[in-house]
Amino acid sequence: MKLYKADDFFKAAIFMSLFFFFSASAIAQSPKNEYRYLHMDVFTDTPLSGNQLAVFLDPEELSDEQLIKLTKEMNFSETTFLYPARNDKTDFRVRIFTPSRPTEMPIAGHPTIGTVFALANLGLITPEQSEIVLELGIGPTPIKLEWDNNKLAFAWMKQRLPMFGDIIEDKRAVAEALGIKVTDFGNSKLPVQLVDCGAPFIMVPLATRDAVDRAVMDRQKMGSLIDNAGLVRRGMFLFSMEPGDDGATIYSRMLGFGVTEDPATGNASGPAGSYLVHYGLVDKSNEQNIISRQGVKMGRSSEIRISVSTSGDEITDVQIGGSAVLVSDAKIKIGN
């Protein structure tokens, strides 16, 4: 066994002291201009599918203007910024931004679910927790957590109870604005209707998956149609209940005015599930196990689960859920 002299330890101690001194000095003298973010793919467990999300981990020194610039730089449908909780009733504060608007979004589905999975990847939430509460722009939002041993497997997000809004009666005009035929609605008398569970979306029930895929929205025509109906220019949620080999309840696309098309839209999924239940399109036994398959046309297949609880004919609870996967852990540099 090799023996060391006392002065060897003394020299090593001096070397380590100097090393930490200069390292600390270098860190102190370098400006904070790099910001870490996690790139998550949401409503999927397979990388390079689902809906993309950037989650910034330490944005407290950044202004809203800088948050918006980072959001546009990422160019995903949404980007989130993670902050410590501001009170003992929530676990974290999350701010959501999208490139198409200059202000914070009050709530969004895939950014919320993706941020929860980012927290799990960072070890900031653990299997002992079955629920956390995030402070979003809309207020405290509870998230239920399902774990598979030490790995977060699934997260459920509560949405507001649905508000069923106005109906666009002229299906022929809707079909023309979507580049499809009025016969693509089939023989159904289901309405083209706005439904809102915290954010409004217009439900468009079509007969076949092929009709959903063929739609190409003329935004000028559809915008005028929506304006004339006195509705909000939000998103058109097209869906079909035609069965497929993917086990989905509905096959869907979301065509928007800001985001051209979204591969997975949590905010639209609660309204979609509520629409199905309201019009009796799913059996009572399946109301809490509705699956929306979205993003297939874009090559980014997503699976969003929807749970709707009822008491008699009244909807009493709406939740949407899914998983997410880490794609990369990176930094972005701003300034000099």
Same domain membership, residue 130 and residue 200: no
Gap between the terminal Cα atoms of the chain? 52
Total residue count of the chain as it appears in this document? 336
CB atoms within 10 A of CB 93: 16
Could you tell me the CATH number of the domain that includes residue 143?
3.10.310.10
Q: At what angle do helices 109-121 and 266-278 cross, to 10 degrees?
A: 120
Any domain includes 195: yes
- The pLDDT value recorded for residue 117 is 98
Same domain membership, residue 275 and residue 155: no
Same domain membership, residue 108 and residue 227: no
Domain count, the chain: 2
Same domain membership, residue 40 and residue 99: yes
- The pLDDT value recorded for residue 336 is 61
pTM: 0.86
Instruction: Give Cα 2 to chain centroid, integer Å.
Output: 59
Identity of the residue numbered 213: D
- The pLDDT value recorded for residue 308 is 98
* Strand ranges for 105-189 from DSSP E: 131-136, 139-148, 151-159, 163-168
* Residue/partner pairs of 254-261 with CB below 8 Å, 24 or more apart: 254/201, 254/294, 255/178, 255/215, 255/217, 257/219, 257/223, 257/233, 258/98, 258/99, 258/100, 258/101, 259/77, 259/98, 259/100, 259/235, 261/297, 261/298
Same domain membership, residue 210 and residue 189: yes
Q: Cβ distance 246 to 293 under 8 Å?
A: yes
- The pLDDT value recorded for residue 69 is 95
Same domain membership, residue 58 and residue 95: yes
Any domain includes 92: yes
Any domain includes 18: no
Nearest to 67, CA basis, from 169, 58, 120: 58
Any domain includes 16: no
The Cα–Cα gap between 143 and 242 comes to 31
The Cα–Cα gap between 39 and 303 comes to 18
Same domain membership, residue 230 and residue 132: no
* Strand ranges for 160-301 from DSSP E: 163-168, 192-196, 200-206, 235-240, 250-256, 261-262, 290-294
- The pLDDT value recorded for residue 232 is 83
Question: What residues in the chain have per-residue pLDDT under 50?
Answer: 1-31
DSSP-based three-state secondary structure for 242 = coil
Same domain membership, residue 122 and residue 187: no
Q: Cβ distance 325 to 46 under 8 Å?
A: yes
Residue 40's contacts (CB-CB under 8 Å, 6 or more residues apart) are: 52, 53, 54, 55, 114, 115, 117, 118, 324, 325, 326, 327
Any domain includes 285: yes
Same domain membership, residue 111 and residue 143: yes
DSSP-based three-state secondary structure for 255 = strand
Same domain membership, residue 154 and residue 291: no
Q: Which residue(s) pair with 240 in the sheet?
A: 206, 251
Any domain includes 8: no
Any domain includes 264: yes
Any domain includes 13: no
Same domain membership, residue 283 and residue 210: yes
- Residue span of the structural domain in which 181 resides: 163-316
Same domain membership, residue 61 and residue 141: yes
Q: Which residue(s) pair with 251 in the sheet?
A: 240, 293
Residue 202's contacts (CB-CB under 8 Å, 6 or more residues apart) are: 168, 192, 193, 194, 195, 226, 231, 234, 235, 236, 237
